[in-house]
Structure 1
Amino acid sequence: MSRAISVRALAAEALADIALSGHSLRDVADRALPRLPDARDRALLTALLNDGARWWPRFDAALDRLLDKPIRRNEPVIHALLVTGLIQLEVLELPSYAAVAATVEAARELRRPRLAGLVNAVLRRWQRERETLSAALDAVPATRHAHPAWLADAIARDWPDQADAVLAAANTEPPLMLRANRRRAERDELAERLRAADQAVELHPWLADGLVLPHSTDITRLPGFGEGHFAVQDGSAQVPADLLGLDDGQRVLDACAAPGGKACHALERARLDLLAVEFEAKRVPRIRQNFARLGLEAEVVIGDAGDPSGWWDGRPFDRVMIDAPCSATGVIRRRPDVRLHRRAADIAALVAQQERILAACWQTLAPGGRLLYVTCSLLRAENEGVVNAFLAAHDDASTLPISLPVGQPAAVGWQIRPGDGDLDGMYYALLEKSRSSAA
């Protein structure tokens, strides 16, 4: 049985797992939150973990200035506890007397009573020297915007005129965006039901199925959730259903399907013969759960999108969607732990995987069919770099124009950056196969 534990002590243990041991924020939160019976404590833990992951690169660097000797290796939980203390003071803006006292007490609760004085001294020193320390951290883009240096440099290289805005947008709280399931609910009527339940909801101005709530909430308690009237999906992830040009009767491949949101949206738009392929077996149950809740049907198989021989029956697809495995650098505001776990060395391997999947899935596309290549990356190497290399090697491929109300044209395709239209960052390239191409 788990011992009783305060929210700050639990946050320190959980944040150490995320930032220093490489565990995902979602998995750690799913384990930690049930240990707190009080809803207010769960809300504080959620804030400490999300903001702790989001601002870790800044306050981790601050501790190098505040401590005579680093403790992240020998005392990782206390190091994480100090970060949560700084988060309480600087991000959550909790009363300083309460934040400091409770964080010091958490050190004792974590069986580190000899370090309680250190925790108190470090947090008090931050309060005394805050202006000078903050100025030093703000002088460097990586710590000003709490991004790893390699990523801050990559964004500055790929987006030289917009780098500061892109980095800043990644630290803003995203709205909660819903997608009305048009097979089971009218968007306007759903919005009225949500307003009647005291939810401040707005219709998205240009996404036909989109609804916007200003803050996250427990979606399972919203009217219509159990009936499958809506799903959670950021607006940038709702765009593919518009770009694909879907019609009843089409045969469609979703090549990298988990968690199934884009496949569900496609099935809500038209009556399709859809095959969803997912490489990770552990993610397949969630795809099927989403289909079931929304009242949708499709075939789901476990397989490698880059090796169709394991799952393709040889019948060509009219539409192919590849939401390619990528660095996820466009969704850091929604998945803040990405900045802690992604490394510069990962990009070359991701590009190779993207190129392999794109070339393999192209074989399954019917002549005259369309393939939509999507990533949630901001890095040009994963986006137009992959697509341009593919086009150079495939004479039967051409690009179709994309124009959206937000974002901007890329060298090929279209890029939405984080915060454009208050959406997550996402890249799209729409390709068409020549009708004279062999099937």
Structure 2
Amino acid sequence: MQLREMALEAYSRVMDEGGYSNIVLNDMIKSSDLAPNDRGLLTEIVYGTISKKLTIQFYIRPFIRTKLKRWQKNLLDITVYQIVWLDRVPNYAAINEAVDIAKKWGGPQAGKAINGILRNFEREPLEDISKIKSETLRLSIETSIPEWIITHWKIHHGIGGAAEIAHALNDRPKMYIRTNTTRISRDALVANLLDEGFSAIPSEIQKDAIEVKGEVLQSDLYQKGFFSIQDVSSMLVNDALSPESDDVILDACSAPGGKGLHALEKVPGGHVDLSDIHEHKIPLIEQQAERLDLSGYETFQGDATKKVYPRQYDRIIVDAPCSGLGVIRRKPEIRYERRAEDVDSLVDLQLEILANIKQYLKPGGVLVYSTCTIHQMENENVAYTFMKENDDIEFDPFVLEAFDFEGPYRQILPQEVGTDGFFIARFRKKEK
């Protein structure tokens, strides 16, 4: 397959078959012999088209006057993305290749239909989004984030705040790594990365975090276990947890293990149990722990809503299943997969997990609840409901220095310091 046909195949797998964009692209690139520049262009087309889908469809809709098959609509999506957003791709090249693909996949008539739509689209000015009267629909089309999400953000952050969140989640994500401080200091890791030709900047947001550029996973430093890939907002869970050297800790919804292993790196005399509902993910946690050369841990499969855990814990991490609206920039397809009605069932699940887990928290122990979403029902509402339904649980303030914050919970918004959207709450179990 040529590059644009590969892009169509990847985009279709994600949007029509529920594939994960990163996995689909990685698998496709591994099985191809694309040059580095072409790999970059393939990734740009697929991620860009997913991220702009609603905007693209607003632009192209007036030019579609016949019934099209799903693959034809997908082909139009990836081609319009190239025409509108990719200056380095000449319009004629994108259109000609789209027509060739259409002929290959559907015959001469399919090619003729695609050619006509795209030639007409190219000749006309883009539809004016600013003329959309509804401010939520206008922002939805402008940022390609479904209107129900925009409406929720507007209720809680105002339309200006909703716009800031939506635009920030369309920015390219920064890449962060977490220093394995059992093996190396952050300063030494930065120096080693710079020596290898990578860009590496110590983060002011979290003391173990480094902002990097380049294919750092190819570095020997990664293979030797000196760092892990983790967004800096996720690392802040450890700041809220504040583990002590001999703590016994549970990471109840662990896979792929980042937060629990971060805690393990901070408790040289302690122990961390890492558990997850998906049995096939347990080896992934173990592989990371082995790569990092960590000890003092146990992994096991367990449904956090009903698991009988083997011991009582000083500290517990519940990084709960959630709608994931805070990581849209890394998983752009998630915005289209979620529905407003999904949130109610997620809230029930989150509360069910917390109700079971708190039984295994020692009196005086700390429980940190986190999500990678920006939705009040899954975040503040869950936190208050959990406390209201459990009279032995109370809020317990923590500090995030980079945000000049002290309090029992914090919603981190993506526009604040360029991180993923994240929520963290800290509770303490009352002494008997």
| Shorter-chain TM-score range | over 0.9
Q: d(CA) in 2 for partners of 1:80 and 1:405? A: 46
Superposed displacement of residue 125, structure 1? 2.6
* Equivalent residues in 2 for 1:70-219, closer than 5 Å: 70-71=67-68, 75-93=69-87, 94-135=89-130, 140-160=138-158, 161-213=160-212, 215=213, 217-219=214-216
Superposed displacement of residue 374, structure 1? 0.2
Given that residues 224 and 230 in structure 1 are in contact (C-alpha distance below 8 angstroms), is that contact kept between their aligned partners in structure 2? yes
Correspondence 1:415 to 2:411: yes
Q: d(CA) in 2 for partners of 1:270 and 1:79? A: 53
Superposed displacement of residue 35, structure 1? 3.3
Q: d(CA) in 2 for partners of 1:254 and 1:171? A: 30
Correspondence 1:425 to 2:421: yes
AA at the equivalent of 1:10: M
Q: d(CA) in 1 for partners of 2:22 and 2:3? A: 17
Q: d(CA) in 2 for partners of 1:32 and 1:114? A: 29
Given that residues 60 and 80 in structure 2 are in contact (C-alpha distance below 8 angstroms), is that contact kept between their aligned partners in structure 1? no
AA at the equivalent of 1:265: H
- The answer for unaligned runs of 5 or more in structure 2 is none
Superposed displacement of residue 67, structure 1? 0.6
AA at the equivalent of 1:277: S
TM-score, normalised via structure 1 length: 0.91
Q: d(CA) in 1 for partners of 2:244 and 2:399? A: 21
**Between the two proteins, what is the percent identity of the paired residues?**
29
Q: Over aligned residue pairs, what C-alpha RMSD do you find? A: 2.1
Q: d(CA) in 2 for partners of 1:269 and 1:155? A: 36
Q: d(CA) in 2 for partners of 1:92 and 1:410? A: 44
- 1:427 counterpart SS class: strand
Superposed displacement of residue 128, structure 1? 2.5
Q: How many residues align?
A: 424
AA at the equivalent of 1:144: E
Superposed displacement of residue 118, structure 1? 2.5
Q: d(CA) in 2 for partners of 1:397 and 1:29? A: 44
Q: d(CA) in 2 for partners of 1:184 and 1:255? A: 25
Q: Which residue of 2 aligns with 1:353?
A: 349
Q: d(CA) in 1 for partners of 2:249 and 2:229? A: 22
Given that residues 239 and 400 in structure 2 are in contact (C-alpha distance below 8 angstroms), is that contact kept between their aligned partners in structure 1? no
- 2:149 counterpart SS class: helix
- 2:81 counterpart SS class: helix
Q: Which residue of 1 aligns with 2:230?
A: 233
Which sits farther off after the overlay, 200-209 or 217-226? 217-226
User: Cα deviations across residues 351-370 of structure 1 (Å, max 9, x unaligned)?
Assistant: 00000001111111000000
Superposed displacement of residue 375, structure 1? 0.4
User: Cα deviations across residues 193-252 of structure 1 (Å, max 9, x unaligned)?
Assistant: 222222222110131111102x5x433222401111111110001101111121122110
Gap change, CA 1:78 and 1:87, over 3 Å in 2 = same
Superposed displacement of residue 412, structure 1? 5.8
Q: Which residue of 2 aligns with 1:393?
A: 389
AA at the equivalent of 1:190: L
TM-score, normalised via structure 2 length: 0.93
User: Cα deviations across residues 138-176 of structure 1 (Å, max 9, x unaligned)?
Assistant: 971111110112212222222214000001011000111
- 2:126 counterpart SS class: helix
Q: d(CA) in 1 for partners of 2:380 and 2:130? A: 37
Correspondence 1:342 to 2:341: no
AA at the equivalent of 1:392: K
Superposed displacement of residue 119, structure 1? 2.3
AA at the equivalent of 1:426: F
- 2:125 counterpart SS class: helix
Q: Which residue of 1 aligns with 2:277?
A: 279
AA at the equivalent of 1:185: I
Superposed displacement of residue 411, structure 1? 9.8
Superposed displacement of residue 21, structure 1? 2.7
Q: d(CA) in 1 for partners of 2:38 and 2:24? A: 16
